[in-house]
Amino acid sequence: MTPADVLGFDPFDEGFLREPYAKYRQLREQGELFRTPAGLNVITTHALVSEMLRDARFGHGRDPLAKGKQDEPVESFLLMDPPDHTRLRALVSRAFTPRMIERLRPRIESIAAELIAGMGEEADLVEEFAYPLPLLVITEMLGVPPEDEERFRGWSDLLARSLDPLPTPELTRSSEQASLEFRDYFRALIAERRARPGEDLLSALAQVEELTEAELLATCVLLLVAGHETTVNLIANGVLNLARQDTLHRAAADPKQVVEEVLRYDPPVQLTLRFALEDASLGGTPIPAGTPVLALLGAANRDPAVFDDPDRFDLDRGPGRHLAFGLGIHFCLGATLARLEGEIALRSLAEAAPGLKLVEAAPPYKENLVLRGLSRLQVRLS
């Protein structure tokens, strides 16, 4: 059985990697909910995706597509259902309030300025800017020693790719090894922070008695991937689309609006999987308990029933109702941080390099299904 049989499309087709939205439009025209040859339910419209994400009858449950034994507990609260999800999210969210995130603004601005100053006239924007900026932010938040930051690059890439619902056996092995190495590293760092607490997020989490070691380690993995890889894609996708329209200057004047349109038009997270926790229905279609449902966030964000001329990158669109961060109890915990990093990154580039141009008309994408991002973005800064 091929990935196309399971998903209804081939996520590794080169044309799909470059431009998935035409295929999403075709799928949406088949109906708001359809079944793939493998029996997977796929939903494509803004209304139906919103309905499912808000419906407590749908959750993560026991994912038969996930690696590992099914009797093993899922440790990351990203993949938990209440009440465990509620408990863990409440503990971690203390560090992600808007007030706490706003305190990071000066440091994020400083990092952006330093990275831009270090780039030459021509640069790979992914490697030299979009990737290191959120990595430096999240590692500093966690209190990772600066000399260890490079070690996170390989771990982050492999752990992000492991989110895909159809990983290859090789990727599964590599991501499991990365997870083991990451956890061993943080196990030692947590012990150090418990003995000598600092002002960082890891020290704060290490003092929370309600968190088991397994939960704390899983939370560190989640913060690295969700707090880093998605923002890399937001920044790079934003620069690509702004440069194609020669509108990067708009990010200097109104970075908030620019980021919102990037999130709608080319979201870093393309899809999410849920399971019916009990007999339910979507749009009048019965969904028996245990049935998986794949929600195409990228398709919902281009739904013409909600967005006028949805395939146009429109910086004057105004406040939207995009689903880039999800909805309901699993709404992205780091949304405020991601928005701030995206706004600062794009504004800083617009101010420092208003004449930025693309070197490659069609830069390559990573072969990731869940997280959509460029593997390279060669630009000329002046």
CA distances from 226 to 12, 193, 254, 314, 340 (A): 22, 22, 25, 27, 15
Run means of pLDDT, 10 residues per run, the chain, 382 residues: 86 90 93 91 96 94 44 54 80 80 94 97 96 91 83 76 70 82 88 89 84 83 79 96 96 96 96 94 94 96 96 89 93 92 98 95 89 94 88
pLDDT at 296: 96
- The pLDDT of residue 208: 81
Helix (H) or strand (E) holding 293: strand 292-296
36-47 burial, b if ≥16 CB within 10 A, otherwise e? beeebbbbbbbe
Intra-chain end-to-end CA distance of the chain, in Å: 49
pLDDT of 370:
87
Neighbouring CB atoms inside 10 A of 182's CB total 22
Give the pair of three-digit tokens for residue 79: 């993949």
- The sign one gets for the Cα dihedral 305, 311, 313, 314 is negative
Write the DSSP string, 111-166. HHHHHHHT--SEEEHIIIIITHHHHHHHHHHHT--GGGTTHHHHHHHHHHHTTSSS
Say how far apart CA 64 and CA 276 lie, in whole Å: 13
Query: Any idea where the domains of the chain sit in the sequence?
Result: 3-306+325-380
pLDDT per residue over 49-77, tens digit each? 999 999 999 998 754 334 343 333 345 66
The tokens for 129 are 């800017």
DSSP state of 95: G
Question: 3-state DSSP call for residue 183?
Answer: helix
pLDDT the model gives residue 165: 62
**Residue 49 CB contacts under 8 Å (≥ 6 apart), including other chains:** 43, 295, 296, 297, 300, 323
4-17 pLDDT, tens digit per residue, is 888 888 888 889 99
Q: For domain 3-306+325-380, give the CATH number.
A: 1.10.630.10
Residue whose pair of structure tokens reads 């109906």 in the numeric block: 31
Instruction: Give the type of residue at 261.
Output: E
Do 155 and 186 form a contact (C-beta atoms < 8 A)?
A: no
Instruction: Write down the residue that tokens 């195409």 correspond to.
Output: 296
